[in-house]
Amino acid sequence: MATPARPKLAVWKFASCDGCQLSLLDVEADLLALADRVEIAHFAEATARDGPGPYDLSLVEGSVATARDAARILEVRARSKRLVTIGACATAGGIQALRNFANAAEFVAAVYPEPRTLDVLAEVTPIRDHVPVDFELPGCPVDRGQLLEVIAAMLAGRPPAIASHSVCVDCKLRGNTCVLVARGAPCLGPVTHAGCGAICPAYDRGCYGCFGPMETADPAALAKAWRRQGLADRDLRRALHAYCAAVEPFRSAGGDRDA
């Protein structure tokens, strides 16, 4: 009896650090099991095999920063039944989106002696600005347990069980003392999407927002809490303009330009 065809998985890289695709390889013990259940049709970092598609599920890491990539994401979408963004770059622009608040040409000239040879768009944008996205998994990097859940859910055709509340909820569950209230540490937990498990407060520091905005984030309310602790508005704006600055409300609350 012929075995049923396994669903085809593809992994794509755009402007990024590789950390989210690495999270897929970091499932170590489950990696070979995953490879048995899905056909890894395209994953350049892991395999020289390159299947043509169509793909049942495409995981997209990275944001769009070049004209070449703006065209490439359209091709990836056209060849994918479902498309999921993995990580802060694909979902919210990533750290490289900070150039959106500066002069991109000047930025390039600051790094490269001959800027004209480079293909660089003025703005770095998340994937959803280019194509429809079936699910966005936040995080810099993504949590590998959540990544496996999203893959399983997408292949089963069900919504992923990914909570959309703030880091504060996870922080309480972990039993951390609130670093903002108890110590006046700058913390973005109240406006940041859960998923990491509240790592930073567990390491005696404030959350720095690398999972991006939670569903109903209210930076204005957080600004009041920061002021009560004697923290500067300028520092909050700068903190919001870091890893996920290309999406609202972090984009506006961080100001048009960095202070």
Runs of H (alpha helix) within 58-178? 67-78, 88-92, 104-111, 144-156, 167-174
Runs of H (alpha helix) within 112-143? none
**115: exposed, middle or buried (Cβ count in 10 Å: 0-12, 13-18, 19+):** middle
Is 248 among the residues that bind another protein (CB under 8 A)?
no
Is 118 among the residues that bind another protein (CB under 8 A)?
yes
Site string for another protein, 130-169 (x = CB under 8 A): ----------xx--x-------------------------
Q: 242, 249, 256, 209: which is closest to 102 by C-alpha?
A: 256
List the one residue from 7, 8, 11, 16 that touches another protein (CB under 8 A).
Answer: 16
Closest contact distance (angstroms) between CB of 132 and another protein is: 22
List the one residue from 8, 99, 130, 251 that touches another protein (CB under 8 A).
Answer: 99
Distance CA 69, CA 149 (A): 28
Distance CA 175, CA 18 (A): 32
Is 22 among the residues that bind another protein (CB under 8 A)?
yes
Residues 165-204 that bind another protein (CB under 8 A): 196, 199-200, 202-204
Closest contact distance (angstroms) between CB of 222 and another protein is: 18
List the one residue from 112, 165, 172, 252 that touches another protein (CB under 8 A).
Answer: 112
Q: 229, 225, 160: which is closest to 189 by C-alpha?
A: 225
Distance CA 20, CA 62 (A): 9
Closest contact distance (angstroms) between CB of 96 and another protein is: 4
Residue closer to another protein, measured from CB, 28 or 215: 28
In Å, how far are 64, 110, 114, 244 from 106, measured between CA atoms?
A: 19, 6, 12, 22
| Contact positions vs another protein (CB under 8 A) | 13-23, 25-26, 28-29, 31-32, 35, 40, 44-50, 62, 65-66, 68-69, 94-96, 98-99, 102, 106-114, 117-120, 140-141, 144, 196, 199-200, 202-205, 208, 210, 238, 242-243, 258
